Amino acid sequence: MKTASRQIAVLAVILLAACALCRLLIKNEYTAYYPLPVYAQNSKAGDFAIVPEGEGEVWVADTEVKNGYLRVRLQAREAGSVSLSVEKDGDGVGLLCFRAGRLGTVYDRNTGGFTGDWIVLVGYTLFWLLLASITFRAFLLEKGPGFYAYTTIYSAGMTIFASLTGLTMLASTVHHLTAPYEFNMFSVYARISGASFAFVMITAPLVCAFALAMTVSNVALLRHERLRVRNVLALGVGFVLLAGEAAAYLWYGRDFSGSETEWRLVSTLRNSYGTVLAYFECMLTGTVICGVKAARHVPSFDRDYLIILGCRFRRDGSLTPLLRGRVDKALWFWHEQKKATGREAVFVPSGGRGPDEPMSEAEAMRRYLMENGVREELIRVENASRNTYQNMEFSKALIESETPDAGVAYVTTNYHVFRSGVWAARSGLAAEGLGSKTAWWYWPNAFMREWAGLMKSRLVKELILLAVLLAFFGVLSMAL
Domain at 71, CATH number: 2.60.40
* Max avg pLDDT among 11-25, 223-237, 409-423: 409-423
pLDDT at 191 (0 to 100): 79
| pLDDT tier for residue 263 given thresholds of 50, 70 and 90 | low
Task: Name the maximum alpha-carbon separation found in the chain.
Answer: 104
What is the pLDDT at residue 431? 94
The reply to whether 468 falls in a domain is yes
Q: Is the same domain home to 143 and 81?
A: no
- The reply to whether 188 and 247 lie within a common domain is yes
Distances (CA, A) of 275 to 163, 168, 479: 16, 15, 17
Which DSSP helix (H) or strand (E) runs through 49? strand 48-54
pLDDT band at 473 (very low <50, low <70, confident <90, very high): low
Shared domain for 35 and 97, answered yes or no, is yes
Is the pLDDT at 254 greater than 90? The verdict is: no
Do 205 and 290 belong to one domain?
yes
Asked if 17 and 121 touch (Cβ cutoff 8 Å), the reply is no
Q: 130 - beta bridge partners? A: none
Total domain count for the chain? 2
Radius of gyration from C-alpha coordinates of the chain: 31
72 and 128 share a domain? no
Q: What is the pLDDT of residue 255?
A: 66
CB proximity list for 461: less than 8 A, separation 6 or greater: none
pLDDT at 390: 94
Residue predicted with more confidence, 114 or 371: 371
- Average confidence (pLDDT) over 399-426: 92
Residue 95 maps to a domain: yes
Domain span at residue 282 reads 118-296+459-479
* Percentage of residues in the chain having pLDDT higher than 90: 28
Give the per-residue pLDDT at 252: 72
Do 156 and 68 fall within a single domain?
no
- Same structural domain, 145 and 66: no
Q: Is 48 helix (H, G, I), strand (E, B) or coil?
A: strand
Distance CA 139, CA 143 (A): 9
193-228 pLDDT, tens digit each: 777 777 777 888 888 888 888 788 777 777 776 676
Cβ atoms of 34 and 70 within 8 Å: the answer is yes
pLDDT at residue 102 tops 80:
no
- What pLDDT was estimated at residue 420? 92
Is 417 domain-assigned? Answer: no
More confident residue, 230 or 171: 171
Q: Which of 75, 92, 112 is the last residue of a domain?
A: 112
| Alpha helices in 297-406, H assignment, sequence order | 321-341, 361-371, 388-402
* Confidence tier at 269 by pLDDT (50, 70, 90): confident
Out of 118-127, 154-163, 179-188, 196-205, least confident range: 196-205
Q: What does the pLDDT look like over 36-64, one tens digit per residue?
A: 888 777 888 777 777 777 655 777 778 88
394 falls within a domain: no
What local confidence, expressed as pLDDT, does residue 399 receive?
Answer: 94
In a domain, 472, yes or no: yes
Residues 147 and 262 in one domain: yes
Together in a domain, 136 and 203: yes
Residue 289 included in any domain = yes
In a domain, 284, yes or no: yes
- Of 112, 138, 163, the residue at which a domain comes to its end is 112
**pLDDT(11) > 90:** no
Query: Is residue 53 located within the same domain as residue 128?
Result: no
Q: Higher model confidence: residue 245 or residue 424? A: 424
Q: Which of residues 78, 112, 146 is at a domain's end?
A: 112
Residue 125: per-residue pLDDT: 92
What's the CA gap between 436 and 438, in Å, rounded? 7
Span 309-331, mean pLDDT?
90
Residue 382 in domain: no
Banded model confidence at residue 305, pLDDT cuts 50, 70, 90: very high
Is the pLDDT reported for residue 406 higher than 80?
yes
Task: Let me know whether 165 and 223 are in one domain.
Answer: yes
Same domain, 230 and 158: yes
CA angle 137, 139, 140 (to 5 degrees): 65
Measured CA to CA, the distance from residue 372 to residue 328 in angstroms comes to 9
- Is pLDDT above 80 for 113? yes
Question: What pLDDT is stored for residue 258 in this prediction?
Answer: 60
Give CA–CA dist 433/152, Å, rounded: 15
Q: Rounded to whole angstroms, how far apart are CA atoms 43 and 421?
A: 71
Higher pLDDT, 393 or 235: 393
Side-chain-side CA neighbours of residue 415 (13 Å): 17
What pLDDT is recorded for position 477?
A: 57
